[in-house]
Amino acid sequence: MKVAFEKYGKGMPIVLLHAFPLSRKMWKQQINVLVESDCYVILPDFRGFGETQIASDKTTMEDLANDIRELLDHLEIEKAIIGGLSMGGYVTLNLYRLHPEKFAAMILADTSSLADTEEKRLGRFSLIEKTLTHGMNAIIEEMLPHLTSDYTKACNPDLIKQLEKEFLQTDPEGAIAALRGMAERLDHTDMLPEISVPTLLIFGREDKVTNLDGARLLNNKIPNSKLEIIEDIGH
Ligand code: MLT
């Protein structure tokens, strides 16, 4: 699988995995600060997002994890700090289950170790139907209002416009394939006590998509983990 990616800087490799239905562009605010901290920053686009081609009508979290493993091999990186936000976090947990030796440390941001509930799964299938008819507008209507906090909506309206623009740049077929994959992702809660690398958990206090109960579960079960909560911020 040919994964599109950008890389910046020199030093400790850090791979950041984007959320649904975005692309590697979502990390642009983080690049400079990480490069200035002597990091070698690697930002991939998952298959079906950004500049990476869709491969089939279902994108499993394991597919995405294996693509990242191949990318690390291609870049001859033995170990990296690997982290992701939301769907990027689901992929991070899958990658740890499949290839724990690739991790120097882990970052899980606004994500969950839990599988979808039946209700959530049915919601994804209904969103797939709407997206088949209305394209990315269906996902904008259903998801975008819940992603940001009231504070962000009031103080940073440009961000909401930017997110909407980025949603519209996503291929609906790529988004649908990932919705199918997220609906059937495994529950990783039993694996959490086995995570032996330092793990940073970053959550917005107002996150309504994943939430602080999930964050505390991760914090309680991952032995060497630290939870940072960002006030006033959503998903
Ligand atoms: C994301 O931000 O990646 C999505 O909200 C994840 C999800 O739909 O479970």
Whole-number Å distance between alpha carbons of 185 and 187: 7
Which residues' Cβ are closer than 6 Å to ligand 1? 19-20, 86-87, 182, 209, 235
Q: Which of 45, 61, 86 to mutate to test the pocket of ligand 1 (most atoms within 8 A of CB)?
A: 86
Give me ligand 1 centre to Cα 84, in Å: 11
Res 57: pLDDT: 97
Res 130: pLDDT: 98
| Whether the Cβ atoms of residue 192 and residue 221 lie closer than 8 Å to each other | yes
User: Within the chain, which residues score under 50 in pLDDT?
Assistant: none
Provide the whole-model pTM.
0.98
Res 122: pLDDT: 98
Res 184: pLDDT: 97
Amino acid at 135: G
Res 194: pLDDT: 98
Res 190: pLDDT: 98
Q: Which of 16, 24, 87, 166 to mutate to test the pocket of ligand 1 (most atoms within 8 A of CB)?
A: 87
Whole-number Å distance between alpha carbons of 97 and 231: 31
